[in-house]
Chains A and B, each alone.
Chain A
Amino acid sequence: MKRYLLQKTGGFVLTAILVSILTFFVIQILPGDPALLMLGTEATPEIYARVRVEMNLDKPVLQRYFGWFADFLKGQWGNSWRYSMPVRDLVARAFPLSILLAFLSVGAALLVATPAGMFMAARPKTYSARLISVLTQAGLGLPQFWVGLLLIQVFAVNMRLLPAGGNSSYASFLLPTLTLALPRAAILSRFMRVGMADALRQDYIRTARAKGVSSRAIFFKHALRNGSLAVVTVAGLQFAQLFAGTIVVEQVFGLPGVGQLLLTGVFQRDLPLVQAVVMVIVFLILLFDLAFDLCLGLLDPRIRYE
């Protein structure tokens, strides 16, 4: 276990450094000059030169990278070029929102998908199971921006029940959560169904049946634990993907999350901002990955940490 943690941490640091180098230089390579992007068609050489000095762009690339790296370690993340405020403040505002949204969406998806998948596995031939299967197809196929706009049209414009956007109340999280949960529930329910169906075919289930264990106990006790392994893994991946921000849903609902911040940062080549956001995402994903590994071990005693 100790060795496992040590190895993990080593990989952790290496990944973080690699990602920081990659982000930094990819932004350099992208066509489009951050100073020019800010100035647009009003740029004159004097203004342009002035802005470049303010952005530190007049220094050599390597010097800037190492300067950034040293400052980052010291906790000095600099000011965003686009927002003229400390990158730390921007990051500290955006991440809690995205993490909350990720929790809500994956939670809601699991809440729907688990029973639906179990039902499909238990009664595969019924009309209800087929109907659920068709619904999951739809959930997978519908584009998110369209679902989001449709939900706003129905619940905010027509029925006037929920806010059309923003994050001023808890209610404003309902529609974005729903939008994000829908395709995820569709995927999870399919994994649930396959996992359960697979588990029910195993030898130990037949043994249990032969011993006379009730089918209810077989289903909920013996099959469920093994059958849900895949679902937990996929839900974990979905969660990790979501707290890195959801550009489409954040745009449609006007939510100030990580996706929005990163998108603006990339479009404006706002290097300090992009760099910091990417680093925090990497850090969170690695941390989550570790926690997730440990959790899977609880669920499946066969997993050993070596």
Chain B
Amino acid sequence: MRRSSVSVIVVVFMIFALGGLAHGQVLNIAIPQDPDSFDPVKTVAAATSEVAFNIYEGLVKATPEGEVVGALARHWTVNDSNTIYTFYLRDGAVFHDGTQVTADDVVHALNRARDPEVAVRAGELSMIRDVRSIEKGVEIELYEPNGAFIYTLSEVYASIYPAHAADLARNPVGTGPYYLQEWLPNQELELRRFDQYWSGEKPYFEQANFLIIPDENSMVLNLKAGRVNLIPRLEMTVLHQVENDPNLEVLSAPMNLVQVFSINNAREPFNDWRVRKALALGVDRLAILYGAAWGHGTLLDSALSPSMANFYNDALHEVNPYDPQRARELLTEAGHENLKLTLTLPANYPLHVQAGELVAQQWKALGVQVDLQIVEWGTWLERVYTQRDYDVSVIGLAGRLDPHAILVRYTTNNSRNFFNFSNERYDELIALGLRTVGSDRRAVYLEAQKILAEELPGVFVMDPPQLAAMTKGIQGWRSYPTYVVDVASLYR
């Protein structure tokens, strides 16, 4: 009797266990939270672009190297004054609902994306004067030459969808290699391979499920148990649980995120360059890299990450070396031997909180009295970011494909300039960089980065690593300088 009941239990368990096994070519990807909306002009959450990259395409799309290549546009030409771009559409590109992609769809989508009445990020396309359809594609006219323009077309908000599509927020219709089959909030997003995709190459996985698992420890256990095959963004705190598992693999790449100790340049005594310089020289970056990020990540001396290879200034390492002696001298010179400051840390980012706690110790060694204040994210955004009511803080600023989008933040009148940084030459350079098209842009941005390193809106610390953890056997992972997971490139 007892034996038979045990075997019944075993059989029941086995049936359940078998039911859980994956069949077919299915890839299970763990992400911590849901997208907000699949309407390209409404979405603001990074979690959306990660998934949407596989569903939507623009005229152009980003590559892992940070370039843009034609997506729905087969190729494009630019007129001599760099103000009119002509995009030739790919033949045979089809939307997920089976309809043909037409120039009118492109015109509709781009006009909607720059309409401030509907589009959240309309301002990012404000350089466009007009979009019109021509015989084989579309023509986009700009007010003046703009070096960043072509990159903006690869962003989610510039995605192309059919003009007749309704309710994109929950039922996206794109042209990407995958389409959204089902979205169960807080549970999973099921993506299916789109067999009419314009590229001849079919992605390997027929189905990709993005599973929502908010807890990083259970994410790892799900990977170990085989329920999940890929964690695109592994938290560093659980890296040790994955590193030594022979069945798993971790790939590391720069995240294109700039961690910075932001300094309120408008506030006494930080408006004194010597005080900022002293704080910069008092930062032992290497100790922070080891203390807060277990030695993973890339040390930074610039407002751009090295993953922006075409524009990154790699000659800035000697500008702010760790030199506590010189830092103390500068503070004395400035008459601030007894400097007191409040360091505001965003509680939801352990990496930034730890970096802040470490730097507090380093600055205390200079004789600076550091008052740590850990605040909830909502409070941080309101007080530090919007009201700019702070002394020093720590934050990670996400990179983009184009340097302008990142560097414009430090110009005097920019609304995102919570550093209150102001430098005339810098403002000129940023304006110049935008007007410049082609290879001359590099020199402009190299100088701009140099100014930031010398004049110190804040102290740049590191680009944390993007760690992708996956089951051994998953091949083809590509890390991008933007926030995406490229499912189509993966195979087993």
Interface residues of A (CB under 8 A from B): 30-33, 36-47, 50-51, 54, 81-85, 90, 93-94, 145, 148-149, 152-153, 156-157, 160-172, 174, 251-257, 260-261, 264, 267, 269
Contact = CB atoms under 8 A, between A and B. Distances in A.
Contacts of A149: 217-218, 221
Contacts of B386: 33, 36, 43
A37 B378 contact: yes
A164 B415 CA distance: 45
Chain B: interface size category = 35 or more
Interface stretch (B104-112, B224-232, B422-430, B467-475): B224-232
Contact of B187 (A145, A161, A254, A269): A254
Contact of B382 (A31, A82, A252): A31
A254 B222 CA distance: 10
B381 interface: yes
Contact of A46 (B34, B123, B377): B123
Nearest to A30: B378
B29 interface: no
Contacts of A257: 186
A83 B379 contact: no
Contact of A50 (B120, B211, B215): B120
Contacts of A85: 169-170, 185
Given A31-B382, A251-B214, A254-B218, A166 B123 contact: no
B398 A165 contact: no
B376 interface: yes
Contacts of B39: 84
B296 interface: no
B315 to A, nearest CB: 27
Contacts, number: 175
B407 to A, nearest CB: 14
A296 to B, nearest CB: 35
A12 to B, nearest CB: 29
Given A36-B382, A47-B121, A93 B169 contact: no
B24 interface: no
Given A84-B37, A160-B226, 4 more contacts: A36-B382, A84-B38, A164-B224, A251-B218
Contact of B225 (A157, A256, A260): A157
Contacts of B1: none
B34 to A, nearest CB: 6
A156 B44 contact: no
B45 interface: yes
Interface in B15-69: 16-17, 19-20, 33-34, 36-39, 42, 44-46
A79 to B, nearest CB: 9
B121 A256 contact: no
B170 A42 contact: no
A290 to B, nearest CB: 30
B225 A160 contact: yes
A93 B184 contact: yes
A254 B395 CA distance: 28
A84 B36 contact: yes
Interface in B159-199: 169-170, 184-188
B477 interface: no
A206 B376 CA distance: 61
Interface in B380-425: 381-383, 385-386, 395, 397-398, 415-416
B44 A38 contact: yes
A171 B19 contact: yes
B213 interface: yes
B13 interface: yes
B166 to A, nearest CB: 14
A269 B16 contact: no
Nearest to A38: B44
Nearest to A80: B185
A40 B17 CA distance: 42
Given A82-B34, A84-B169, A253 B185 contact: no
A163 B170 CA distance: 28
B462 interface: no
Interface in B314-366: none
A274 to B, nearest CB: 14
B116 interface: yes
Contacts of A40: 44, 46, 381
B212 interface: yes
B433 to A, nearest CB: 19
A32 B37 contact: no
A117 B260 CA distance: 58
B21 to A, nearest CB: 10
22 contacts: A31-B378, A32-B377, A33-B378, A41-B395, A41-B398, A43-B415, A43-B416, A45-B415, A50-B122, A51-B120, A83-B34, A85-B169, A162-B17, A164-B221, A171-B16, A253-B218, A254-B213, A254-B215, A260-B214, A264-B34, A264-B186, A269-B378
